[in-house]
Structure 1
């Protein structure tokens, strides 16, 4: 499972790099056509918007995989190690529940509702663009289960070690 996670991490890193590069090129093209050619392209704004959404969701999933997301844990750090452990387990369960209910189920419902809506500037329907939500939900669920198993087997600490100046 660890090798799969490492491969998934690398794939997500590259996907985020490609999406970011696509976003930069698209926005640069949009600015060039608007400012230099005085004829703004209609498709670049929509592509930039949806690329940004996909990038944000996949980067968020990658951060969950690296446990790099924001955690307000100053109270938890003052508790005994056993309590910290179970709070970490509870946190992973909450993340998994959120991923299943909101991102996977809710994302599937939104995608299904928008499946027949067409975009004006791009040759795809809106449903394809909303599939980023359930896909990112599956990724976050995988990472949450991975970290939950690692916590229960005491392979990970309930709290990530941070910069001592920030704690």
Structure 2
């Protein structure tokens, strides 16, 4: 529920920014640089957090043709491999690499042009989303270990919900 609320709030503010941008540009004749920049940064946060949320709902895009054809232990191994690949990307690229980017940017003192926010806050979406993805991967790995394969059979739908839903 918490993650859904955060995403919804970001989306509402994003829509308000874009609406004001259109009104200020075409009705008032003077485009707002603040809402333009804010909309860009909110969109980045929305996309990354939304992707992590979608993973938590098990609604992310996946090419699971091979996994769908497997059963038993082979299916479990296939699902575990996919989970560990996602977790590895989240841990090393998003969390480790994203955190280094945030720290370097914060140390350089770089700020956004219109809002004068530290650019590290904008880049903070990368390790934040990576941590959420890693959290979901840990939960899914535990469920896989405890219950076996959770990928629905062909024609079934994936279960909805998660701890951050």
**TM-score band, normalised by the shorter chain?**
0.7 to 0.9
Q: TM-score, normalised by structure 2?
A: 0.88
Following superposition, the deviation at residue 76 of structure 1 comes to: 2.1
Per the alignment, residue 150 of structure 1 pairs with 143
Identify if the C-alpha distance between structure 1 residues 138 and 25 changes in structure 2 by more than 3 Å, giving closer, same or farther.
same
Partners of 1:87 and 1:158 within 8 A in 2: no
CA distance in 2, matches of 1:56, 1:20: 10
1:75 aligns with 2:66: yes
- Provide the secondary structure at the position in 1 that maps to 2:65: coil
Per-residue CA deviations over 1:83-118 (Å, capped at 9, x if unaligned) read 111110111111111111000011111112221101
**C-alpha root-mean-square deviation of aligned residues, in Å?**
1.4
Aligned length: 154
2:47 matched to which residue of 1? 56
- Once residues 19 and 26 of structure 2 are traced to their aligned partners in structure 1, the CA distance between those partners, rounded to angstroms, is 10
Does structure 1 residue 120 correspond to structure 2 residue 113?
A: yes
Aligned twin of 1:135: 128
Bigger relative contact order, structure 1 or 2 (CA pairs below 8 A, ≥6 apart): 2
Q: Distance in 2 between matches of 1:62 and 1:25?
A: 22
Q: Which runs of 5 or more structure 2 residues have no equivalent in the other structure?
A: 157-165
Decide whether aligned partners of structure 1 residues 120 and 51 sit closer, same or farther in structure 2, where only a CA change above 3 A counts: same
Distance 1:161 1:48 in 2: 40
Counterpart of 1:6 in structure 2 is none
Provide the C-alpha distance between the structure 2 equivalents of 1:37 and 1:162, rounded to a whole number of angstroms.
Answer: 54
2:161 is aligned to: none
Cα drift, residue 64 of structure 1:
1.3
Counterpart position of 1:160? 152
| C-alpha spacing 1:87/1:50, structure 2 compared with 1 (3 Å) | same
CA contact (8 A) 2:41 2:122 kept: yes
Residue matched to 1:93: 84
**1:32-89 C-alpha deviation (Å, 9 max, x unpaired):** 1100011001111110000001011111111111111111112222223221111101
TM-score of the superposition, structure 1-length normalised?
Answer: 0.87
